[in-house]
Amino acid sequence: MKIFHTKRNRFTLSMVGAAILIATILAYVLISQSIKRIYTSADAHLQTEADAFLSLSSEHFLGAVAALRSARGFFYSSEVVTRSEFYNYVEVSKFLNEYSGFQTFSYAPLVLGKDKDAFLKKISTDTSIRPDGYPAYSIQPEGMRETYLPIQYIYPEEEVDFLLGLDSLGDAIRTENSYRARDVGDISVSSLLNLGEGGDGVLVVIPLYQNKDIPETVEERQHFFSGTLTTVIDIDTFFSHILPQTMIGNKNITISIAGRGGDVGSIQVAEKSNNIFSKLYAKREVTEELSLTEQTNYDFTFDAEVNELLSFDELFEPFLLAIIFFLAAVFMSIVILFSQKARTIEDVKKRYAFISTLSHQLRTPLTNLRWQIESRIVPKGEEESQRIMMQGVLILNSIIDRMLLYIGMTAKKEDTPTETLLSFDVLYKKILNALSKSQDVARVVRIGKKTIPNKLLVDEQKIVSAILYVIENALIYSPKDKAVNVEAVLGKTTLSILVTDKGYGIPAKEQEKVFSEFFRASNASLGINMGSGVSLAIAKRIIEEHGGSIQFSSKENEGSIFEITLPLRSAG
């Protein structure tokens, strides 16, 4: 092309080549450093997450233990606790609602073999909850034993009444746990049990004594033992409430209480295996004070076994990222070259045609890359690598689209836009639809009046793009845990659209350049991805084409507010 025949343009092309080379080198360095940083920080990540897990586990479990001890105090408050009193106590205390994973709460008295028939007769005539009593009540499993610990009261009864009569001395696991609680005088946690319907769990038991106090010796505890209060913990539910959500990688983890646990599924963990124990201590009441006096047998164990983090196509991922960097450098460099002031209208047409052709040529390999990424079989747990690579391709596609729009708006006069009467509600739905492929769509929150019936006479595609660019800019430069608020404020002749974020803000000395082409703030590296630097410039141009305006206020480290004002019009 003749456009490259001048010394100036040949020099510019050489600079473009240098920029491409530098971009490729930077891509390689960035990828290498990222990999190194991941490996060197793996231990620290694991330690941090393990500490958080253990702290939350301890707090959650000890809270439930305190509730069990409180229930024992309730039983000691009177000579006889009736079924209705027990039921009302558990319901009012909301014990099972407050502590996730704790499914049932039951009372089982100690029944001697010689007293079994009298006990069954007593239960069958108990009408405090059921008008007809419990005529079908029996101790399970059947058989003659010297002593029984049958469930007499259970909550919520209407859901688990089939457990009434289940004898805690009827199998080895329950017997061992009940007697251990009896002998230590405090909480005991059972081995892992199958709770039915595929779930696993443990029993947490606290003993009761005839003299309403914890006897001093084991012999005395065995002699005065009168029953147990028991709650059931579903392991999966218990830990799903507290498992940290910020770990890297994705492998299986085994978590247990007192060594009695199991695999609770796949969660995110760091590189190296580790085993960390958190010791919990029982609070024993001494007169009116609580003191830490004795280590109990419920310790939390955090076991993680993982492989190397980058096992998913280690060569493919860096290579793909390098291609993305390379294509981005080529496209942006040529856009800068062709953004130089044209000498004739013919030059403008040639440049715009060249950019359009180039964008088509770039989209072809990008489409192939996207197909390759989507069609690969990804090993379980390594979907995040796939998502990052796909995001890179989508980002570059977005940059190409915006550069083309920018070149089209600056290189030629547009025809009169096709205008349509639309309400803001319709525009907002279209904006959310455009964001629907992004995980960030959930962070966009509309506040204020939800229905704006007044119409805007706008070029639908352009105005949606303009508002979308402002919202995306707020999402990019805000932490992932911060929402972006969108509010429409109706005036007499205008509609104002406020986009508010609690992000990184724009340095005061750079704010006058915000709507300049290719401007990126000095703190832009804090954002979640690479931008083109033309989004806000395009948005401003589109808004002004519609007779509107865009303004903003921003404070570094506090966030920004962008206000788009559009005139209210009517067709005709």
Q: What is the DSSP string of 56-119?
A: HHHHHHHHHHHHHHHHHHHHTTSS---HHHHHHHHHHHTHHHHSTTEEEEEEEE-EEGGGHHHH
Write down the pLDDT at residue 311. Answer: 38
**pLDDT greater than 90 at residue 562:** yes
Q: What is the mean pLDDT of the chain?
A: 70
Residue found by looking up tokens 């009169």 in the block: 416
| Judgement on whether residues 12 and 160 belong to the same structural domain of the protein | no
Write down the pLDDT at residue 160. Answer: 83
| Last residue within a domain, chosen from 411, 443, 477 | 411
| Ramachandran area for residue 381 (φ above 0: left; ψ -120 to 50: alpha; else beta) | left
Top mean-pLDDT range of 83-97, 259-273, 369-383 = 83-97
| Structural domain of 510 | 420-567
**What is the phi/psi pair of residue 468, to 5°?**
-60, -45
In this structure, of 125-129, 315-319, 392-396, 511-515, the range with the lowest mean pLDDT score is 315-319
| Ramachandran area for residue 384 (φ above 0: left; ψ -120 to 50: alpha; else beta) | alpha
| Judgement on whether residues 407 and 463 belong to the same structural domain of the protein | no
For the residues 402-413, what does the mean pLDDT come to?
56
| Judgement on whether residues 459 and 440 belong to the same structural domain of the protein | yes
pLDDT in tens, 267-304: 323 222 222 222 222 222 222 222 222 223 344 444 44
| Judgement on whether residues 18 and 70 belong to the same structural domain of the protein | no
C-alpha 302/C-alpha 257 separation (Å) is 10
Write down the pLDDT at residue 61. Answer: 78
Total number of domains in the chain = 3
Per the CB < 8 A criterion, the answer to whether 415 and 545 are in contact is no
In this structure, of 204-208, 219-223, 359-363, the range with the lowest mean pLDDT score is 359-363
| Last residue within a domain, chosen from 268, 283, 304 | 304
Per the CB < 8 A criterion, the answer to whether 218 and 238 are in contact is no
pLDDT in tens, 93-132: 887 877 778 888 999 999 999 999 999 988 888 887 788 8
pLDDT in tens, 434-488: 887 666 778 888 887 667 777 888 888 889 989 988 998 888 888 888 889 999 9
Handedness of CA 354, 355, 360, 365 (dihedral sign): positive
Helix (H, G, I), strand (E, B) or coil at 260: strand
pLDDT band (50, 70, 90) for residue 225 = very high
Write down the pLDDT at residue 425. Answer: 86
C-alpha 228/C-alpha 568 separation (Å) is 73
Helix (H, G, I), strand (E, B) or coil at 284: strand
CA distances from 470 to 38, 402, 458, 482, 498 (A): 33, 13, 17, 16, 10
Write down the pLDDT at residue 570. Answer: 55
| Judgement on whether residues 341 and 295 belong to the same structural domain of the protein | no
Per the CB < 8 A criterion, the answer to whether 463 and 424 are in contact is no
Question: Residue 371, class by beta-carbon neighbours within 10 Å (0-12 exposed, 13-18 middle, 19+ buried)?
Answer: exposed
Q: Which is higher by pLDDT, 330 or 272? A: 330
CATH number at residue 121: 3.30.450.350
Angle (nearest 5°) at CA 154 between 197 and 89: 130
Which residues on neighbouring strands pair with residue 148, listed in sequence order?
111
Write down the pLDDT at residue 274. Answer: 25
Which residues on neighbouring strands pair with residue 278, listed in sequence order?
300
Assigned domain for 542 exists: yes
For the residues 239-248, what does the mean pLDDT come to?
52
Assigned domain for 263 exists: yes
Q: DSSP character for 191?
A: P
Q: Which is higher by pLDDT, 54 or 464? A: 464
Write down the pLDDT at residue 295. Answer: 29
Assigned domain for 81 exists: yes
CATH number at residue 560: 3.30.565.10
C-alpha 565/C-alpha 572 separation (Å) is 21
Q: Among 205, 29, 39, which Cα is nearest to 110's?
A: 205
Assigned domain for 394 exists: yes
Q: Which is higher by pLDDT, 363 or 205? A: 205
C-alpha 206/C-alpha 396 separation (Å) is 62
| Judgement on whether residues 127 and 224 belong to the same structural domain of the protein | yes
Q: Which is higher by pLDDT, 325 or 228? A: 228
Per the CB < 8 A criterion, the answer to whether 420 and 460 are in contact is yes
Per the CB < 8 A criterion, the answer to whether 475 and 484 are in contact is yes
CA 339 to chain CA mean position, Å = 43
| Last residue within a domain, chosen from 272, 304, 336 | 304
Residue found by looking up tokens 């059931």 in the block: 232
Per the CB < 8 A criterion, the answer to whether 275 and 299 are in contact is no
Tokens of 490: 């109706």
C-alpha 191/C-alpha 204 separation (Å) is 10
Question: Residue 393, class by beta-carbon neighbours within 10 Å (0-12 exposed, 13-18 middle, 19+ buried)?
Answer: buried
Percent over 90 (pLDDT), the chain = 15
Handedness of CA 223, 229, 232, 237 (dihedral sign): negative
| Judgement on whether residues 30 and 119 belong to the same structural domain of the protein | no
Q: What is the residue type of 541?
A: R
Tokens of 167: 């004898």
C-alpha 269/C-alpha 271 separation (Å) is 7
Assigned domain for 524 exists: yes
Residues 6+ apart with CB under 8 A from 572: none
Tokens of 562: 């962008």
Tokens of 183: 């002998």
pLDDT band (50, 70, 90) for residue 382 = low
| Judgement on whether residues 138 and 232 belong to the same structural domain of the protein | yes
Q: DSSP character for 305?
A: -
Residues 6+ apart with CB under 8 A from 539: 465, 466, 467, 469, 470, 550, 564
| Judgement on whether residues 387 and 438 belong to the same structural domain of the protein | no
| Judgement on whether residues 335 and 277 belong to the same structural domain of the protein | no
Helix (H) or strand (E) holding 230: strand 225-234
Across 269-304, b (16+ Cβ under 10 Å) vs e yields bbbeebeeebebebbbeeeeeeeeeeebbbbbbbbb
C-alpha 82/C-alpha 107 separation (Å) is 11
| Judgement on whether residues 456 and 381 belong to the same structural domain of the protein | no
**pLDDT greater than 90 at residue 220:** yes
Assigned domain for 572 exists: no
| Judgement on whether residues 328 and 267 belong to the same structural domain of the protein | no
For the residues 232-236, what does the mean pLDDT come to?
79
